[in-house]
């Protein structure tokens, strides 16, 4: 499993015909967003770690096991399974929850 810290180092693929000048954050249609320099490293990832530290044993968001702080939490090791399997697992959980609700 790749740790999130390893993922943050990977570059996003942008086809060569879509490369923007350094000062432009989106294409003319607004369809492509380019993060400002160090946005992920300095803002997004630290905020993610801080927001999720209580969910994992010893605050280890990258390698820790989930705590019991959130009832019914299901952790998907999404880097170890296919997208299809992740979607199927989520759908099974949602179906199970839906079956317990009385819509009357």
97: helix, strand or coil: helix
Q: What is the pTM of this model?
A: 0.53
Distance CA 60, CA 66 (A): 9
Q: Could you tell me if 54 and 78 lie in one domain?
A: no
Domain that holds residue 64: 23-69
DSSP type of residue 72:
T
78 and 65 both lie in a single domain: no
Q: Is the pLDDT of residue 47 over 90?
A: yes
What confidence tens digit (pLDDT) does each residue in 28-39 have? 776 777 788 899
Query: Does 63 share its domain with 88?
Result: no
Q: Are residues 51 and 82 in the same domain?
A: no
Q: Give the C-alpha distances (Å, rounded to integers) separating 42 from 3, 15, 37, 45, 67.
A: 17, 26, 9, 7, 27
Considering the domain boundaries, does residue 11 fall inside one?
no
Given this model, what pLDDT does residue 5 score?
52
């Amino acid at each position: 499993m790749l740790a999130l810290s390893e993922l943050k180092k990977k570059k996003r693929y942008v086809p060569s015909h879509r490369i923007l000048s350094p000062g432009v954050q989106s294409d003319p249609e607004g369809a492509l967003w380019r993060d400002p320099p160090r946005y992920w490293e300095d803002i997004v990832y630290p905020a993610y770690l801080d927001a999720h530290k209580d969910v994992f044993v010893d605050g280890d968001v990258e390698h820790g096991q989930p705590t019991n702080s959130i009832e019914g939490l299901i952790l998907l090791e999404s880097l170890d399974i296919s997208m299809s399997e992740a979607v199927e697992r989520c759908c099974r959980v949602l179906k199970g929850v839906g079956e317990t609700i009385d819509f009357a």
